[in-house]
Structure 1
Amino acid sequence: MTSDDVRHRREAGHFVRWALAQKIARDLSFPAVRWNGPSQAMDDAALWATARRLLHDDTLKPEDRLAGLLLLLYAQWPAAISRLTVDHIEETDGAVRLRLGTVPVDLPGPVAELALHQVAARRSHAVLARTDSPWLFPGGQPGRPISVWAMGERLRKLGIRLAETRSTALFQLATELPAAVLARTLGIDITVAVKWQRAAAGDWGAYAAEVSRRSAKAASGRENQPAAFNAQGDLQC
């Protein structure tokens, strides 16, 4: 915990805090490090290059492409991706939505196709295997989702650096969307969303007024919808 050569400091901290919360251990402490935003420039060019590869490279497994895009476009950790079920994906009136938080996300065409393909594959497998496993990314053990470690390894094999890529995705989203929308749609804590908004230097203090002005323009027939939203206000990436 104190050596300059220590490894897995972050993971050890999570374990200590979990052990205290479960009352397995007492009188333990672990130094916390305050996060003050990204420490280096975000490589959004690399992010979009990888996203395009996952969108169009048919030689990759569809489930791996979908998992990678959930990280690249929606800043989802492997832990969150591995816990998704087929019920998190909804298709209504020709639109495909993914529920990550309290407000569903509208999936763009190529991502929607991958999501529907994975749902169909999982349901077909469930019928053939006579199992009611709900997981979108099932693991090797019957009835269990893929492990966080295994999901992380699959993403790394795609050339994705997990922490760096998620930071880049959150940074990009925080420059375009208010913290409240990030929290509702991505399923992250509002305090985390606010920190990323500040790190991205996004000023959303006048957001409500801007929406009001755009709504007024809509009445006169002009284009008013922000690029990141559809008509219902759902996040689109």
Structure 2
Amino acid sequence: MHLRAAVYLLDWLTDQDLTLASCRQNDLERWMTRDETRLRREAGHFVRWALAQKIARDLSFPAVKWNGPSQAMDDDARWATARRLLHDDTIRTEDRLAGLLLLLYAQWPAAISRLTTGHIEETAATVRIRLGAVAVVLPGPVAELALQQVSARRSHAVLAQTDSLWLFPGGQPGRPISAWAMGERLRKLGIRLAETRSTALFQLATELPSAILARTLGIHISVAVKWQRAAAGDWAAYAADVSNRTRKAPAP
């Protein structure tokens, strides 16, 4: 069964001109959310083996089959944790920022670990982070943490005489923190990774059209559509409402 699951996944990767080495989290989620996909859970054993052998990288929670939320989402706990990370300065800045990227923007540890200082964009009026194709404006307290981390990393790069500007560096010089190590740091903050990300995605899917969700969070459009359907967002009505408000807007 596990062997067949591995073959199904490898065949799909080949059809997409991908390999285990080039496969990224959004590719894997795209495969998992296909209606035709078989043996999702069993394929997780193969993916974990590939990660252990360093054949694959930057993947996390590969063995979860997603059919929409299976239980009530604890959004109160999510916001309580977010408030703690925003205000508790006894927690390291990098851990606070990483936790908030998961809590607020549904980013996997694998995606967080690959961010560089270049993903943070500062202008006179705003601070943005580029998680997908479109940069997201960070709210004030989160923006401050992001700028603190960028400043610390750039100062370290100068002192260490290195051009490594990973936002979350690892133990090896010039390398980012691994997805596994990032996940462990977030767990130590009391964050249940998969459930927290599901809660964040569910909430975001009620507020954003799937196309914007995909472009801003860096997830595949098919995954965004699944979450929007689960959240029952009526974006046809939303578009009509925006169009109506635009027509009624006074001329400048």
- Band of TM-score, shorter chain: 0.7 to 0.9
Structure 1 segment 206-217 matched on structure 2, within 5 A: 206-217=237-248
Post-superposition offset of 1:113: 0.2
* CA deviation after TM superposition for structure 1 residue 34, in Å: 5.6
1:12 aligns with 2:45: yes
Which aligned runs of 4 or more in structure 1 are off by greater than 3 angstroms?
A: 8-11, 15-18
CA shift for structure 1 position 202: 1.1
Structure 1 pair 126–184 and aligned structure 2 pair: CA distance change class (3 A): same
* CA distance in 2: counterparts of 1:138 and 1:41, whole angstroms: 35
Q: Is 2:218 the partner of 1:192?
A: no
2:43 and 2:227 map into 1 onto residues whose CA distance is 20
Contact kept, 8 Å, 2:44 with 2:64, in 1: the verdict is no
Task: Name the counterpart of 1:87.
Answer: 118
Is 2:63 the counterpart of 1:56? no
Shift of 1:83: 0.2
Q: Distance in 2 between matches of 1:197 and 1:106?
A: 22
SS at match of 1:98: strand
- Determine the C-alpha separation between the residues in 2 that align with 1:217 and 1:17: 57
The answer to whether residue 199 in structure 2 is matched with residue 142 in structure 1 is no
What is the Cα deviation at residue 206 of structure 1? 2.8
Cα root mean square deviation, aligned: 2.3
CA distance in 1, matches of 2:64, 2:182: 27
Alignment map for 1:148-187 (pairs within 5 Å) = 148-187=179-218
Using the TM superposition, give the Cα deviation of residue 9 of structure 1 relative to its aligned residue in structure 2, in angstroms: 5.1
User: Which SS does the other structure have where 2:242 is aligned?
Assistant: helix
Q: How does 1:13-162 map to 2 (within 5 A)?
A: 13-15=46-48, 35-162=66-193
1:201 to 228, 232, 243: 232
Higher helix proportion: 2
Tell me the distance in 2 between the aligned counterparts of 1:190 and 1:38.
18
Distance in 2 of aligned mates of 1:87 and 1:152 = 22
Deviation at 1:56, TM superposition (A): 0.7
Q: CA deviation at 1:92?
A: 1.3
Q: Which amino acid aligns with 2:47?
A: H
Percent identity of equivalent pairs? 78
- Residues 1:70 and 1:34: Cα distance change in structure 2 (over 3 Å): closer
Gaps of 5+ in 2: 3-40, 56-62
Distance 1:129 1:33, change over 3 A: closer
Structure-2-length-normalised TM-score = 0.76
User: Which amino acid is 1:201 matched to?
Assistant: A
